[in-house]
Structure 1
Amino acid sequence: MADLRGEAEDRFARVEETLAASIDRGEDLGASVAVIIEGETVIDIAGGYQDKAKTLPYEPRTLTCVFSSGKAVCAALIAAAVSEGKLAYDEPVATYWPDFAAKGKEKITVAQALSHQAGLAAFTEEKDPAIWVDWEATCAALAEMAPLWEPGTASGYGPQTYGFIAGELLRRVNGQTVGQQLKGLTRDVICGMGLSEATRAAPLVKPKRAPDLGEIDEITKAAFLLPWSAPSGISRQTWAAAEIPASNMHACAHGLAEIMQLFAAGRMGDKLAVSDSVREEAWQERISGPDKVLPFHLSWAAGVMRETYDGRIFGAPPTAIGHYGFGGSCVLADPARGLSFAYVPNQQSHHLVADPRATALLRAVYQALS
C-alpha cells in the first residue's frame, strides 16, 4: 500500500485506504486530502509523488493548480464581503462596477453573476489569447460585452470569465485583488504565484483523454475550444504569476478546506467570518436546469454547485455545496455538519464533475461519520 504522509483521526482510516488504493492503481500520481469539522482538522494527508519519475514525495503542503476549484474560493471571499456589508447578493453588479451596466447588463445581480446567469460565459469575438493575464483589459472587455443570452433565464458556465467578475467586485469593495487578499489569509492557497512559492508546486500530468463537452454550440465552443478560450502564447511563469482566479489558483487540500470552512461553519479561524444569515443566502439555489456550457443539469448557488438529492455530483448529502476543478480537484462544504473537504491531485482525469476519485473519498468520509 502506498505510504501516506500527514495525519488523520483513526475513525477515518477508510479515507486513508481509499487514497492509498487510488495511488496504487495509478489513478493518482500524487494528491492531498483534508477534512475540517467546526474548525478542527481531522484529516490532513498526502501520498504519492510530485513527478513521473517518482523522486519527489507529494507532501500535505505541496501546491498544485486546482483550476476551477478556485471559483469556490472566490465565492467564499464574496460571502465574507457580503457578511461585512460591503456587497449584497441581490444588488446589481453595476452598483459596485458602473461600467458593467453597458449593453443591457444594468440589472444583473451579484448572485446572478456568481451563478453563471449573466450571459458572459466566454468571448465569442476574437481576442488576443494573452488578454487573460491583463486584468484591466479583461474586465474592460467584460464590462463592454453584450450578454450571450437573456440574463437570469439560464446558467452558462464561465470557465475564465467568472473569476474576473468575482475578483473585480472584491477589488472594488476591498481595495485588494483576490491574490492580495489570500496572502493575508493563508500561504496554502495562492492566486498569482511568485518564484519562491513555485518551489512548492507540483507539475500536472495531463489527462489521458479529453473531457466530454456534449453538444458543441457557439457558446460552448467559445468557452473551451477557440484560440482565446484560455490563456496561450505566454510562458508558464507568466501564466502562474498572473491572477486568473477562476483557473490558475495553486493550493494544497488543507488550505482549500480552511477557506471552505467559511461556508461550512462560518469562520476561517480568527481571520474571516460569514454570518449564519449570509451563509444561508450563499448556498440557496439561484438557478437549476441544463447548463448552456457544461453538458449537465446543474443547481447553482452563489458561486458553487449544490449537491443533488441522489449524491450525483459529489457523492455527498444534499446539504453539501462545492466545486470541481479541471482534472479532478474538488472542494466541498456541508453546512449541516460544519464540514469542509478538499482533494487536490496532480494526475488529471477527464471528468468535469463527479470525479470518481473525489466521490470515493467523500463517501469514505461520510461512512466514517455515520
Structure 2
Amino acid sequence: LFSTTKAVAALMVARLVDEGRLAYDQPVADVWPEFAQAGKAAITVEQVLSHQAGLSGFPDETDPAIWFDWDATCAKLAAMAPLFPVGSASGYHPLTFGYLAGEIFRRVDGRTMGTALREDIAQPFGLDLWIGLPESEHDRVAQMKKPTAAPDLGTIDAVKRAAFLDTGSAPGGRGSAEWRTMELPSANLHGTAKDLARIMGVVANGGILEGRPVLSPGVLAEMLRERIHGRDKVVPFDVSWAAGLMRNEGLHIFGPNPTAAGHCGWGGSCAFADPDARAAGAYVMTRQSPHLVGDPRAQRLIDALYAGL
C-alpha cells in the first residue's frame, strides 16, 4: 500500500505516547543517542513525524541494497546532516520516514513496529494488516500494475532528487519476496481496504476500535494537531502535517470536513478518518496511477460516501 502505510505507523507511535513511554516534543536522541550526530540533537519526534527533520533521502549515490539492511540504513540516517534547516518547512520523507519512525519505536518498545502491530492490534482485532509479510502469506497478494507516467514533482532540486530520483533513493525489487518480507513502516504495509478502514476507525471514533480503547482522546487530539502547514519541499503542493498524518485542511481530499486526516500512497491508495462525521474509509487498487495524492478513483468513492451520510 506504499505510503498509505504511514497512517498505520503514526497510530503505532501514538500508542507509545499514550502509554507515557514517549512524548511528541521529546528529542529523538533521548531514545536513539546516535541520532544526535551532525547537529541533530534537538530534532524532536514530532518534527520527524511531520517531515521537518530534513532527512528526506540520502544526498549521495547509495547502493539500493542498503534499504534491506535495517541497521545500516538507520546508521546512515543517524550520521547524516539535514538537507534543509530543521523546522523551516516540511520536506516529505517517502522512505526514510519508515526507518526513522520505526527505529524510534524499536528503541522505546524493544519490538519492531511490524511485530507490535501484529501482536497488539492486528491479531486481537482480527485485522488483515501486515508491516512485513510472512512468506506464508505471499500467495494471497494481488500483483500491482505500474503507472504509465511518473508523478509530477515540479522543479527538481537537491532535496527532491535525494527523496525520489538519485541512484539508490529506493530499494530495487519492489514486489519481490524480499520486499514483501522486509519491514518498512513507510511503504510496504500489506492488507485489505476493509481492515485499513477499520484501523482508521480509531481516529474517527475517539480512539475506540470496535468497542475497545486503542488511544485516549487526549493523545488522539494531540496526534491530529497541526505541526506545520505550507509548501512542501518534496511534493509539489501545500500540506498541513499532523504527527504522521496529512490533515484535510488545505488538501481537501478526505471529504468536506477540515478535521479529517489520513494518508495517500503512490499509485492511488489512501486511508482517512473524519472525527466530525465519525467515518473512516480506505481505497486500495492494483492498477497504479501517477497521482501522489487525490487519485480520482478514490475521490469518487469518498464523494459517494459523504453523499450517503
What is the TM-score with the length of structure 2 in the denominator? 0.94
Deviations 1:117-139 (A, max 9, x none): 00000001122111111111111
Alpha-carbon distance between aligned partners in 1 of 2:184 and 2:274, rounded to the nearest angstrom: 27
Calculate percent identity across the aligned residue pairs: 52
Matched residue pairs, number? 303
Assess, with a 3 A threshold, how the Cα gap between structure 1 residues 170 and 269 changes in structure 2: closer, same or farther: farther
Aligned to 2:280: 340
Aligned to 2:180: 240
Aligned to 1:30: none
More helix by share: 2
Aligned to 1:230: 170
Alpha-carbon distance between aligned partners in 2 of 1:82 and 1:132, rounded to the nearest angstrom: 27
Question: Which residue, out of 257, 261, 266, partners 1:321?
Answer: 261
- Report SS of the residue matched to 1:166: helix
Question: Which residue, out of 289, 292, 304, partners 2:230?
Answer: 289
- Report SS of the residue matched to 1:345: coil
Max Rg structure? 1
Alpha-carbon distance between aligned partners in 2 of 1:193 and 1:250, rounded to the nearest angstrom: 7
Q: Cα distance, 1:73 vs. partner?
A: 0.5
Alpha-carbon distance between aligned partners in 2 of 1:108 and 1:81, rounded to the nearest angstrom: 18
Question: Which residue, out of 148, 152, 155, partners 1:215?
Answer: 155
Q: Does 1:139 align with 2:79?
A: no
Structure 1: unaligned runs, 5 residues or longer: 1-65
- Report SS of the residue matched to 1:68: helix
**8 A Cα contact 2:106 2:113, kept in partner:** yes
Structure 2: unaligned runs, 5 residues or longer: none
Assess, with a 3 A threshold, how the Cα gap between structure 1 residues 202 and 256 changes in structure 2: closer, same or farther: same
Q: Cα distance, 1:188 vs. partner?
A: 1.1
- Report SS of the residue matched to 2:140: coil
Alpha-carbon distance between aligned partners in 1 of 2:190 and 2:163, rounded to the nearest angstrom: 22
Deviations 1:96-127 (A, max 9, x none): 11111111111111111100000000001122
Alpha-carbon distance between aligned partners in 2 of 1:280 and 1:94, rounded to the nearest angstrom: 25
Correspondence 1:87-98 to 2 at 5 A: 87-98=22-33
- Greater CA drift, 97-106 or 178-187: 178-187
What is the TM-score with the length of structure 1 in the denominator? 0.79
- Greater CA drift, 250-259 or 160-169: 250-259
- Greater CA drift, 186-195 or 92-101: 186-195
Q: CA RMSD in A?
A: 1.6
Aligned to 1:115: 50
Aligned to 1:58: none
More strand by share: 1
Amino acid at match of 1:79: A
Q: Does 1:308 align with 2:243?
A: no
Question: Which residue, out of 260, 271, 275, partners 2:216?
Answer: 275
Alpha-carbon distance between aligned partners in 1 of 2:248 and 2:174, rounded to the nearest angstrom: 37
Alpha-carbon distance between aligned partners in 2 of 1:297 and 1:363, rounded to the nearest angstrom: 22
**8 A Cα contact 1:129 1:233, kept in partner:** no
**8 A Cα contact 2:52 2:89, kept in partner:** yes
Q: Does 1:105 align with 2:40?
A: yes
Aligned to 2:114: 179
Amino acid at match of 2:7: A
